[in-house]
Amino acid sequence: MFRINTVMCNWEEIKKYIDKIRLIQYNVFMLIIRRNLIIFFVFAIYSNLYADEYRISAVRTYHVFNDLKYIQSIEIFNYTENNMLYKKTRYGFNPIDGFFLRNETIYKYNENNLLIEDLNNNSGIVTEKHYRYDENGKLIRTHLVNSFGIDIFSIISYRYEEDKIIAEGFQYKKYYDLNWNILLEEWRDETRKIYIYENNLLTRIEVYNIRNSFEILTSIEYVNYNENNQIINIETYRQYEGEFIWSRREINNYNSINNLSIKTIFNNEIFTNPIHIIEFNHVPYFIIMEYEYIRY
């Protein structure tokens, strides 16, 4: 036993006091952890809801030459009071005339909010696309109407089987699963596109040409995702002089509410430009598409 400032020290009491202090500190620490977890989960939930409260309002497309952006077009999206897409308008641009109307599509819906018609005006050429449904609201047919009447080559019929949906027209037959994820395309020109999924995500597209009953692989498209299962890049490879080389790269960037904000597209000039254009005064460029959103 000894004294400090004439006060008798009891080590058992001191130890109890220290333990109480540690317990208080631990409880405060756990409260902070719980608060931060609650904030995190609320923010995560709010972010998802917040993202769902937005609709795309505009897409601006640029060509980029030597680090300079040149506007090519603007696409504007308009919605009804029920947040259904009502009109999509695309304006082109040239340095002399500025912006000009290039394409406009107006969408019509029935009382069940099913799309029944879109009216497209492409630089004065008007085309209607009609959608027909059965009594259960399943799409069973689409066709185009132009100034000459129904375009019979545009008619697509939809058939529902136990495990798939088949869309068949004059040019192709397409197969979907019951969630409308495309599985296979068979084209009249003897081209087949096979869509490959992993964990319900599209990861690869293979394109084959059929010649003399043999399938020849002509291109492969790889799709990659981030941790939110959003597409971050798509790379396409095509056959060229006996080997596969890249033909197109697409890179996606997302904003703070997980909506697509910028898409950058690179094309390999071997496939996009004739040789004489590459040789004479051709300036390489890539494409940037910027997305804007409105809250509804």
The tens digit of pLDDT for each residue in 34-58 reads 544 444 444 443 444 444 588 999 9
Residues 172-177: what's their mean pLDDT? 96
Among 258, 255, 250, 257, which residue's Cα sits nearest to residue 289?
250
pTM score, whole prediction = 0.75
Range of the domain at 38: 9-45
33 falls within a domain: yes
SS3 278: helix
Residue 137 is given by DSSP the state S
Look at residue 33 in the predicted model and tell me its pLDDT. 43
23 falls within a domain: yes
Q: Which residues pair with 74 in a beta bridge?
A: 60, 91
15 falls within a domain: yes
pLDDT at 110 over 60: yes
Among 267, 231, 221, which residue's Cα sits nearest to residue 247?
267
134 falls within a domain: no
248 falls within a domain: no
79 falls within a domain: no
Average pLDDT, the chain: 83
30 falls within a domain: yes
Domain total in the chain: 1
pLDDT digits (tens, 9 = 90+) for 181-235: 999 999 998 999 999 999 999 999 999 998 888 899 999 999 999 999 999 999 9
pLDDT digits (tens, 9 = 90+) for 129-150: 999 999 999 999 999 999 889 9
CA atoms within a 13 Å half-sphere pointing along the CA-CB vector of 72: 14
- Show Cβ contacts of residue 113 under 8 Å, excluding neighbours closer than 6 positions: 82, 84
Q: Which residue has the higher pLDDT, 173 or 27?
A: 173
